[in-house]
Amino acid sequence: MGLISLLFKNPGAFILLVIPLLYSIVLHELAHGWVANKMGDSTARWLGRLSLNPLRHLDPIGTLMLFIFGFGWAKPVPVNFNNLHDLRKGLIFVSAAGIVANTLLAFVALFLLHLINPEPFGAIYMFLIYMAQINIMLAAFNLIPIPPLDGSKILMGFSSGQFQYSLARLEPYGFFIIIGLLYLGILNPLISLFEWIITSIISLLLP
C-alpha cells in the first residue's frame, strides 16, 4: 500500500522517490515564507520556518498520508497577509512562490537529465525523472483555484473583495471538495492541462 509497500518491495526505489517528494514539498512551503519575508511579513522567519530542515515543515497526518497513500502535505508556512507591503500583490506573489519553486525544480531536474545523459533507468536517471514528475504534479495540483490551494489565493489577488470573501468562506470545506472532485475524476483534466502548460514552458527553456 503506497510508499510503505514500496519500502518493503524495493528499498532503493523508495529512497529515490521519497527524497525528491519530501524536499519538493519542503521547498514549496519554504518559497512561500521566503517571498512573504521579502514582502514585509517575517512571521515564517521568526517561527524558524525558513529552513531546509524537513522536521520544521512536516505535518504528522500529512506525512502519514504520504507514506500510506502516496499523497500528503506539509505544515503550511504561516503568512500574515496584513503585514505585506501590498496585499493584492502579496496574495499573488506569495501564493505563486511555491508553484514557481516546483516548476524550477522540475526544470533543473530535466536540464540535468539532458546535460548528464545518465544511463536509462539507472539511479541518477530515475532520481531526476522522479524529481521532475513530482514537481510538475505539485505545481499543477496547486494551481487549482479551490481553497486552500495556492491557485485560489492567486485568483483572489486578481478579484474583487466580494469574490475574495466568497472564496475564503469555502476554505474550511476545501479539502473535502478537492478530495471529492479528485475521486470523481473531475479535476483530472484540469491537472493534466496545467501539467501540459508547465511541461511546455520547461521544454521551451531547455536547450
- In the chain, the percentage of residues whose pLDDT exceeds 90 is 43
- The more confident residue out of 180 and 64 is 180
| Euclidean distance between CA atoms 163 and 180, whole angstroms | 23
DSSP one-letter string for 124-182: HHHHHHHHHHHHHHHHHHHTS-STTSHHHHHHHHTS-HHHHHHHHHHHHHHHHHHHHHH
Give me the mean pLDDT over the 71-93 stretch.
Answer: 88
Q: What is the pLDDT of residue 72?
A: 64
Q: State how many domains the chain has.
A: 1
Q: What is the pLDDT of residue 151?
A: 94
Q: What is the pLDDT of residue 5?
A: 60
Active-site annotation holds for 195: no
What pTM was estimated for this model as a whole? 0.88
pLDDT band at 83 (very low <50, low <70, confident <90, very high): very high
DSSP one-letter string for 5-63: HHHHH-HHHHHHHHHHHHHHHHHHHHHHHHHHHHTT--HHHHTT-SSS-GGGTB-HHHH
Q: How does pLDDT run across 124-165, given as a tens digit for each residue?
A: 898 899 899 889 988 998 999 999 899 999 999 998 888 888
- The more confident residue out of 31 and 71 is 31
| Euclidean distance between CA atoms 145 and 171, whole angstroms | 11
- Domain holding 81, by residue range, is 2-205
Q: What is the pLDDT of residue 8?
A: 57
Using only the alpha carbons of the chain, give its radius of gyration.
18
Q: What is the pLDDT of residue 1?
A: 47
| Euclidean distance between CA atoms 202 and 109, whole angstroms | 11
Q: What is the pLDDT of residue 111?
A: 92
pLDDT band at 184 (very low <50, low <70, confident <90, very high): confident
